[in-house]
Amino acid sequence: MFIDNIVIHAKAGNGGDGAVAFHREKYVNAGGPDGGDGGRGGSVIFRVDPGSNTLLAFRYKRKFAAEHGENGKGGKKHGKNGADVIIPVPPGTLIKDPATGKIIHDMASSDEFVLCKGGRGGWGNRHFATPTRQIPRFAKSGTKGEEREVLLELKMLAEVGLIGFPNVGKSSILSMISSAKPKIANYHFTTLSPNLGVVKIGEGKGFLAADIPGLIEGASEGLGLGHAFLRHVDRCRLLLHVVDIAGTDGRDPSDDLDKIDEELQKYSPELAERPQIVVANKVDSVDMDDETVQHFIKKCGWLDREVVFVSAVTGENLDLLVEKTIKALSELPPLTVYEAEYNPEEEALASSAGAKETEISQRNGKYYVEGEWLYNFMGQINFDDYESLNFFQRVLEKNRVFDRLREMGIEEGDTVNIYDFEFEFVY
C-alpha cells in the first residue's frame, strides 16, 4: 500500500524540575543548598531516510512522544536529559500545519529538522541562594515540551516525471531506461503507486525518474487514481508525456495529448507550463506514413514540443530519449525546494488563543506576569540570545502584556517577573 498524506501528533518531553535539597555531611556545618537542576526534555526530530518512498510506516503509529527530563537530585546532581525521538521520513516529505496547510519545513535535503523542542530543566535551589537568603526552600520547575499536530505530505524528488493515460507504456519505459522493476500488465491502472527509477548515464551521473499512475479525464477533480499522485510531479523539472501512438485502446494520440494537458492545467497552471518531451510509444506497431501519425507530429509542432518515437518492447530510440532528457535537464533550473510559509510569531500567538487569560499582579514592588500559555512559551526562548529575546518581546507586545502593565500604572525602572525571569520595564 502506498501512503503519501497523513496527520501525526508529536510531543516533546517536559523538562525535569529542579531539586530542593541541602548538603548534610558529618563535620560539615551549614552545608547549604545543593539541589541539582532538572534534565532537558527530549525533542522530536525529523530525519530523511533515503531508502523510503512512502509514509506507510505512519499508518498504525501516529503519536510520537519524547522522554521527559529527570528531576534534579541532592548533591548538585543534574537530572538525566530525556531521549530525543527521531522520525525517519522519505526524501521530499513536506511538514505542514494541518489547519492552514502552510509549509513548516521541506525535507528535501539530508538535514535534520527539530519540530518540537524539549522543555528546559528547572534550576535547583542552589541557584537561588543569596547573602540574605541562605536557605532557599524552593526550586524552579521544568518547562513543558512543545506539542503539535502536523500533516506529512510526500512530494517525490524525481527530476523527471512520466505522465499519460493508463496502459500507454510508462512503466515499461521506466523499466527499460532505469533499474526500476515495476509491475507491468496489459490492463488499466496496473500502476497503483508511483515508481521511482535511477537512470544512470555513466561516471556516477544520472537522474531520478518517476512513473506517475495513469491519469484519466476528471483526474484534477478527484476521478481515477491519477489525482492522488499528481502532487508527485510538482517538483519534476521535466515531464515526459507518454502517448500510445498506435491507438491500441481505440484512442486518438492527439486527443490524449490535449486531455492530459487539460487535467494538468486544472490541477496546477504552473505545472502545465513545465517543459515537456512527448514520448510516442509503440512505434513498432505503426506505419510512420499513416495520416494519424503525421497529424500527431504536426500537433506536437503546434505545441512547440519535441517528440521522440520509441518502443518499450524493442528498445528503439530509448537511448535517444535519455540523451534528449539529459540535454533538457542541463538547461533547466534546479529542483524545487519549498520555503517555510508559517511565521513563528503567528504560531506563538495562535498557540495562546483560547488559553487561560494572562494574570498580572503586584507584590512587594514587583509586577508578576503569569499564564499557562506564557509558561509553555518560556520553554522556547533562549534568554542568552539577542534575537530570541527580541522575539519574546514581540510576542508579549502582541499579546498586550505591556499595555496591561501600563494600565496598572507601572513606571519606568519597575521590575517585571515572568516565571523567575526578571527585567526592568522601559517605556
- Each domain of the chain, given as residue ranges in start order, spans 1-154, 160-330, 344-424
Task: Per residue of the chain (427 residues), give pLDDT as tens.
Answer: 457 789 999 999 999 999 999 988 888 777 889 999 999 999 999 999 987 878 888 988 999 999 999 999 999 999 999 999 999 998 999 999 998 889 999 998 878 999 999 988 999 999 888 888 888 888 988 888 889 999 999 888 889 999 888 888 888 999 899 876 665 555 444 455 677 788 887 766 788 898 877 665 554 455 444 556 677 788 889 999 999 999 887 888 999 999 889 888 888 888 889 999 999 999 999 999 888 899 999 999 999 999 999 999 999 999 999 999 999 999 998 888 888 887 666 666 555 444 457 899 998 889 999 887 787 777 677 777 888 888 888 888 888 899 999 999 999 889 999 987 889 988 7
Q: What distance lies between CA 10 and its chain's CA centroid? A: 13
At 4 the pLDDT is 77
Domain 160-330 belongs to what architecture?
3-Layer(aba) Sandwich (3.40)
- Pairing type for strands 93-96 and 63-65 reads unpaired
User: How far is residue 73's CA from residue 253's CA, in Å, rounded to a whole number?
Assistant: 76
Which residues are registered as beta bridge partners of 45?
86, 114
Instruction: Return d(Cα 117, Cα 12) in angstroms, integer.
Output: 6
Alpha carbon of 212 to those of 93, 191, 361: distances in Å? 17, 8, 61
- Give the right CATH number for 344-424 from 3.90.110.10, 1.20.140.10, 3.30.300.350, 3.40.640.10: 3.30.300.350
For the beta carbon of residue 224, count every other beta carbon within 10 angstroms.
Answer: 19
Q: Can you tell me the distance from the alpha carbon of 335 to that of 179, in angstroms, rounded to the nearest whole number?
A: 22
> Can you read off the three cell numbers belonging to residue 217?
479525464
Q: pLDDT value at position 14?
A: 93
Q: How many CB atoms lie within 10 A of CB 261?
A: 15
CATH code of 1-154, in short, is 2.70.210.12
What is the spatial distance between Cα 80 and Cα 72, in angstroms, rounded to a whole number? Answer: 8
Which residue do the cell numbers 510509444 mark?
281
Buried b (16+ CB within 10 A) or exposed e, 167-176: bbbbbbbbbb
Give 278's DSSP letter. Answer: E
Neighbours of 155 (CB within 10 A): 22
Interstrand relation of 5-11 and 147-154 (parallel, antiparallel or unpaired): antiparallel
Cell digits for 97? 500545519
What is the distance between the alpha carbons of residues 240 and 209, in angstroms, rounded to a whole number?
Answer: 10
By C-alpha distance, which of 399, 395, 424 is closest to 411?
Answer: 424
